[in-house]
């Protein structure tokens, strides 16, 4: 390997290791850390963030990247070497615009804000988290200002999760999606409604955990390189290609919450585990962008995990684990887990109304960055949008503006990835089935190797070498498209509701 490339890889490995060390502390904070560790954890996170940022903006790194420009021009664009230079330079150019002192304060705020949310959410105490939300909004404004020349202040923040994606494009997609979704929701609301009370009973947590682990293993999640733990808000975190962990939460009275959460997070984790081993300890390991990442969690959770063929195979196993379902017909169970009903909680929303939840959040974020909404006004704005868009009113802040962890860990500019991931899940699954038609039949037999291997070959192994749009084009998919997703919804829910 070229000496300059070796130096670059060594430098980037140190930065990645610091980031992953911070992730270990973050995972521990959200799973097992005792409350007394909160103050120290914020300090530790700030230090690791500061050290990583200092290395990311080291002028010597900039000079090294400049010296590699002639080599980069000679290399094939798709090669690991050219991709390492390209992605490292992109990271360097972004990092150098952000003051190290600011980054340290932001990392500490993330840890402190999360702790405040954990304590306040069960009490629905919005006043307790308001100061942290105001600070998060201030950080978001400051970050955007580090990147002058944007068309919309959300653009620099969105870039952190989907490089090259812009708020204007998201707004255009959402406008088209809303115009298709609303009529479908109205049609379903007029049809004979599905009874989902059959999903409620007494389901022991350990049995739920064991069943979820078994399904995740069948799908392809490697527990030799991962684990599953409990948390208030499910997430996936990566420490290396060989250590990708998922979390879930349990509701003893409702089976579906933990099961589909586990499948969802397994989709994220399989993507991370699927990176080519040669990309380890470089910024190329991981996902192309969070819209692609969410497409994988939603593909496995919904397109596969909520499909009738999937449950033709798994239902007998479910009945054996939970005798409650002995008197429930498979078709009734299938309809129940796919019931469409406007609801309060995003993570429990059905496929048809889910994106309406995302649009509410995206519009609020845009309003915050445009200074049309203040943090103090969030509950009022949130409740108003839920009443107008979904016809439901949160009874408290825990079921409303405090339900998602994102804003309370300082994340702004992320929510659109969920909805875009839904669109891409249909596009990518369609591309896979087109190339390997046996996939659909194999799902009904509990076999997922063909789908998993196609995704590994065409999506996972590339890690972060390509942007979202580049990866789509490599698979012949062109741009993000609303129609494949709507076609999928119309076919599936037309059958369930007799439309």
pLDDT tens digit sequence for 330-385? 999 999 999 999 999 998 899 999 999 999 999 999 999 999 999 999 999 999 99
Cβ atoms of 165 and 291 closer than 8 Å:
yes
Residue among 385, 420, 184 at smallest CA distance from 299: 420
**Summary mean pLDDT of the chain:** 95
Q: What is the pLDDT of residues 26-75, one digit of tens each?
A: 999 999 999 999 889 989 998 999 999 999 999 999 999 999 999 999 99
Would you say residue 499 has pLDDT above 90? no
Instruction: Please report the pLDDT score of residue 255 as a whole number.
Output: 85
In this prediction, residue 233 carries a pLDDT of 82
pLDDT of residue 385: 96
Reply yes or no on whether the pLDDT at 102 is more than 90: yes
The catalytically annotated residue of 81, 265, 294, 365 is: 265
Sheet arrangement for strand 236-240: 228-230, 243-248, 236-240
Quick check: 1 pLDDT over 80?
A: no
Structural domain 167-213+275-497, CATH architecture: Orthogonal Bundle (1.10)
pLDDT digits (tens, 9 = 90+) for 243-293: 999 999 998 888 888 999 999 999 999 999 999 999 999 999 989 999 999
- Over residues 200-227, the pLDDT tens digits come to 999 999 999 999 999 999 999 999 999 9
- Look at residue 466 in the predicted model and tell me its pLDDT: 96
Q: Looking at the predicted structure, is the pLDDT value of residue 167 above 90?
A: yes
Buried b / exposed e over 414-436, threshold 16 CB at 10 Å, is: bbbbbbbbbbbbbbbbbbbbeee
* Average pLDDT of the segment spanning 428-441: 96
Q: Is 299 in contact with 267 (CB distance < 8 Å)? A: yes
Residue with more model confidence, 208 or 499: 208
Contacts of 272 (CB under 8 A, 6+ apart): 236, 238, 241, 244, 285, 286, 287
User: What are the DSSP calls for 301-341, one per residue?
Assistant: IIIITTSHHHHHHHHHHHHHH-GGGGGS-HHHHHHHHT---
The yes-or-no answer on residue 377 being catalytic is: no
3 state SS for 226-246: CCEEECCCCCEEEEECCEEEE
How many Cβ atoms are within 10 Å of 141's Cβ, its own excluded? 14
**Mean pLDDT across 83-90:** 97
Q: What pLDDT shows up at residue 2?
A: 87
For the segment 377-417, what is each residue's pLDDT rounded down to a tens digit?
999 999 999 999 999 999 999 999 999 999 999 999 999 99
Residue 155's φ and ψ, nearest 5 degrees, are -55, -50
| pLDDT reported for residue 347 | 87
pLDDT tens digits along 313-334: 999 999 999 999 999 999 999 9
Query: Sorting pLDDT into bands at 50, 70 and 90, what band is 192?
Result: very high
Q: Where are the domains of the chain?
A: 3-123, 167-213+275-497
Residue 400 confidence (pLDDT): 97
pLDDT of residue 50: 92
Q: Given this model, what pLDDT does residue 403 score?
A: 95
What whole-number distance in Å separates Cα of residue 295 and Cα of residue 478?
16
Q: For residue 495, what is the enclosing H or E element?
A: helix 482-497
DSSP state of 123: G
Return the residue matching tokens 């016809």. 391
Query: What does the pLDDT average to over 135-153?
Result: 96
């Amino acid at each position: 390997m070229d000496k300059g490339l070796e130096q670059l890889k060594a430098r980037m490995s140190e930065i990645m290791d610091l980031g992953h060390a911070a992730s270990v502390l973050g995972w521990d904070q959200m799973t097992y850390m005792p409350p007394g560790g909160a103050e120290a954890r914020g300090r530790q996170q700030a230090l690791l963030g500061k050290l990583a940022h200092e290395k990311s903006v080291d002028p010597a790194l900039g000079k090294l990247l400049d010296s590699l420009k002639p080599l980069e021009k000679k290399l094939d664009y798709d090669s690991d070497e050219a991709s390492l230079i390209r992605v490292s330079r992109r990271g360097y150019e972004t990092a150098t615009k952000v003051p190290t002192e600011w980054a340290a304060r932001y990392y500490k705020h993330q840890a402190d804000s999360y702790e405040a949310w954990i304590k306040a959410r069960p009490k629905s105490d919005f006043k307790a988290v308001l100061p942290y939300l105001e600070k998060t909004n201030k950080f978001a404004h400051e970050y955007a200002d580090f990147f002058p020349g944007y068309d919309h202040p959300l653009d620099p923040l969105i870039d952190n999760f989907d490089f090259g994606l812009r708020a204007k494009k998201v707004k255009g997609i959402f406008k088209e999606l809303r115009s298709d979704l609303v009529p479908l929701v109205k049609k379903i609301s007029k049809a004979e409604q599905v009874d989902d009370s059959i999903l409620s009973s007494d389901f022991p947590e350990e049995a739920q955990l064991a069943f979820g682990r078994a399904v995740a293993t069948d799908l392809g999640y490697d527990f030799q390189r991962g684990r599953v733990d409990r948390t208030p808000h499910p997430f996936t975190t990566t420490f290396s290609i060989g250590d990708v962990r998922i979390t879930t939460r349990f509701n003893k009275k409702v089976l579906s919450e933990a099961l589909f959460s586990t499948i969802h997070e397994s989709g994220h984790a399989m993507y991370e585990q699927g990176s080519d081993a040669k990309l380890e300890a470089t910024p190329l390991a991981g996902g192309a962008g969070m819209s692609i990442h969410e497409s994988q969690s939603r593909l496995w959770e919904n397109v596969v995990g909520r499909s009738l063929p999937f449950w033709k195979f798994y239902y007998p196993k479910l009945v054996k684990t939970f005798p409650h379902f002995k008197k429930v017909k498979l078709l009734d169970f299938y309809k129940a887990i796919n019931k469409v009903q406007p609801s309060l909680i995003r993570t429990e929303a059905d496929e048809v109304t889910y994106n309406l939840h995302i649009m509410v959040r995206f519009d609020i974020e845009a309003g915050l960055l445009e200074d049309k909404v203040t943090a103090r006004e969030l509950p009022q704005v949130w409740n108003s949008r839920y009443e107008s868009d979904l016809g439901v009113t949160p009874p408290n802040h825990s079921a409303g503006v405090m339900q998602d962890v994102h804003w309370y860990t300082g994340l702004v500019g992320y929510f659109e990835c969920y909805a875009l991931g839904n669109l891409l899940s249909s596009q990518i699954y369609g591309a896979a089935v087109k190339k390997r038609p046996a996939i659909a039949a194999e799902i009904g037999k509990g076999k997922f190797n063909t789908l998993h291997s196609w995704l590994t070959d065409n999506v996972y192994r590339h890690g972060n070498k390509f942007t979202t749009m580049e990866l789509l084009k490599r698979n012949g998919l062109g741009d993000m498209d609303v129609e494949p997703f709507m076609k999928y919804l119309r076919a599936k829910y037309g059958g369930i509701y007799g439309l």
